[in-house]
Amino acid sequence: MKTKHMKTLPSGNSISRSPLPRPRARESFRSSFSEGGSLITSHYSLLTVLVFALTCLALSPTPNAFGVLPPPDGGYPNFNTAEGDNALFSLTTGSANTAIGTAALGNNTTGDFNTASGFRALVNNTTATFNTGTGAFALQSNTTGNENTANGASALEFNTTGAENTANGAGALESNTTGFQNTATGTGALNSNTSGNHNTANGYQALFSNTTGVDNIANGFNALYSNTTGSSNTANGAGALYNNTTGSSNTANGANALLSNTTGLWNTANGINALYLNTTGVENTANGALALVANTTGNNNIAFGVDAGINLTTGDNNIDIGNRGVAAEANTVRIGTQGTQTKTFMAGIYGTAISGTPVKINSSGQLGVAPSSARFKQNVHKMDKASDVLLALRPVTFRYKPEIDPEGSPQFGLVAEEVEKVNRDLVVYDAQHKPYTVRYDAVNAMLLNEFLKAHRTVQELKSTAAKQEATITQLKSTVAQQQKGMEVLTAGLKEQAARIQRVTAQIELGKPAPQVVDNNQ
């Protein structure tokens, strides 16, 4: 049977109680009650009448007095309700408070709309309002913090002035003092937080070590467990960002994602064990289970797909999409896995006009531009007669099969098998080492060599012809001069002949007439 101590309360709406229970008075009352026990047993009807009389007396409209101490089930004025030794013990003008349990809201004076259920729940609250503490020691140290909710033993136990916090679970936000707008759900969630703000922890010991870090979100068993001062981190999944201490602006979604990260910044890991071993690497993005799992200090890496970038360790500036990557490599883009993906479709290329350098691809699938600088070459020799094989090639016209070119456009080129018979170095082979295509760039280089050889021959012929033409011109000049000399000589001879004729004629005229001798005389 509950022992009740009659007490007349002072005037007004306050409840006046001594700071501590009165053990001597209570022991005296209990002793008296014990001594009269036999009398009660013997005279049950008398006891019933006595209880009824006491009840009537308690309910009588006595000015400025109400109830008994401890009170019966029911409420105090101003909508207050208390049940338990020293519950709401110090209340003066506070209203709409509910205290259930020993010392629950024991020091509350003017605080309003508080609810405390459990041993010493909200015991030190004085003037704070809209707090809810359920569980032993819940919000025990709170003095002026408002709008806090604590459900669980020691939840928000040491909170003093922190406001708008929500703690659900034993030890949740236990160490919080001045931090505000934190939410902790789960045993030990945000257990060490003191003044950190705007944190959300859901799960057993989520954000357990956080002290002053702000704007963190942890959902899952031990998520962000070691975080102390790191801020703006998001961890979703058991063990996500478990070892993070001061790293900030990280996002981990998936069990053990970014588990080893300590001080790394601006990392994003989506998938179980993504970026698992990352410690101090920054600005990494891993999407997919085990993506970038082995990266430790590498920076600015991007991996998409299960096991993407799984081999990367310390390299920087890599992009691995559906590829495992290579340890310690840097500044490399890998898309797909050689031998797995057999076709590549890329939009925005065909039909787009652009100037630039032709791109080549090697047997490993690496793209690049064939260099021509001397610094990339060795054993350089003149091509000379190596291009003579081109004269044995058979250029053809053809159309590709429908599965390659449904439109059947006319094509011009060579047949790889025929070129192989002439010069194997001009053929590219497939994975089965069958002729696949022709190195047309090499053919073009050989054609250039043949063109230059022909050009030199033509130049030589032109030079010879020019020399011959000069000789002919010279000969013509000589002949012309000789002809002119002949003409002059002929004219001179003609003149000389004419003179001879004239002289001869004159001689003939000056001769005496021939005498005729008559032999008969």
| Structural domain spans, the chain | 1-72
DSSP letters along 388-402, please? GGGGG---EEE---T
pLDDT digit string, tens, across residues 419-461: 999 999 999 999 899 999 999 999 999 999 999 999 999 999 9
What average pLDDT does the segment 294-314 reach? Answer: 96
Give the pLDDT band of residue 521 (cuts 50, 70, 90). Answer: low
Tell me the backbone φ, ψ of residue 350, rounded to 5 degrees.
-60, 130
Q: Residue 80 gets which letter from DSSP?
A: B
> Does the model's pTM come out above 0.85?
no
CB 360 within 8 A of CB 346: no
CA distance 325 to 416: 34
Q: What distance, in Å, lies between the first and last C-alpha atoms of the chain? A: 226
CB 414 within 8 A of CB 398: no
The answer for 122, left when phi > 0, alpha when psi is -120 to 50, beta otherwise, is: left
Where is 58: in which H helix or E strand?
A: helix 44-59
315-323 long-range contacts (CB < 8 A, ≥24 apart) are none
Give me the chain's average pLDDT, please: 84
Give the pLDDT band of residue 513 (cuts 50, 70, 90). Answer: low
**Quick one: pLDDT at residue 56?**
40
Using DSSP, state whether 162 is helix, strand or coil.
coil
| Least-confidence region, from 8-12, 164-168, 392-396 | 8-12
CA distance 322 to 444: 37
**Quick one: pLDDT at residue 497?**
86
Share of the chain above pLDDT 90, in %: 66
Instruction: Evaluate if residue 324 carries a pLDDT over 90.
Output: yes
Q: Which tokens go with 257? A: 């994602």
**Quick one: pLDDT at residue 12?**
33
**Quick one: pLDDT at residue 515?**
63
pLDDT digit string, tens, across residues 226-260: 999 999 999 999 999 999 999 999 999 999 999 99
Interacting residues of 193 by C-beta distance below 8 A, sequence separation 6+: 173, 175, 176, 179, 182, 184, 199, 207, 210, 211
| Least-confidence region, from 52-56, 81-85, 462-466, 499-503 | 52-56
Instruction: Evaluate if residue 473 carries a pLDDT over 50.
Output: yes
**Quick one: pLDDT at residue 480?**
85
The answer for 518, left when phi > 0, alpha when psi is -120 to 50, beta otherwise, is: beta
**Quick one: pLDDT at residue 173?**
93
**Quick one: pLDDT at residue 103?**
92
Using DSSP, state whether 411 is helix, strand or coil.
strand
**Quick one: pLDDT at residue 499?**
86
Q: Residue 23 gets which letter from DSSP?
A: H
What ranges make up the beta strands (E) of 370-479?
396-398, 411-413, 427-429, 435-438
Instruction: Evaluate if residue 387 carries a pLDDT over 60.
Output: yes
**CA-based angle 422:427:430, to the nearest 5?**
140
Radius of gyration of the chain (CA): 56
CA distance 309 to 2: 71
CA distance 234 to 261: 13
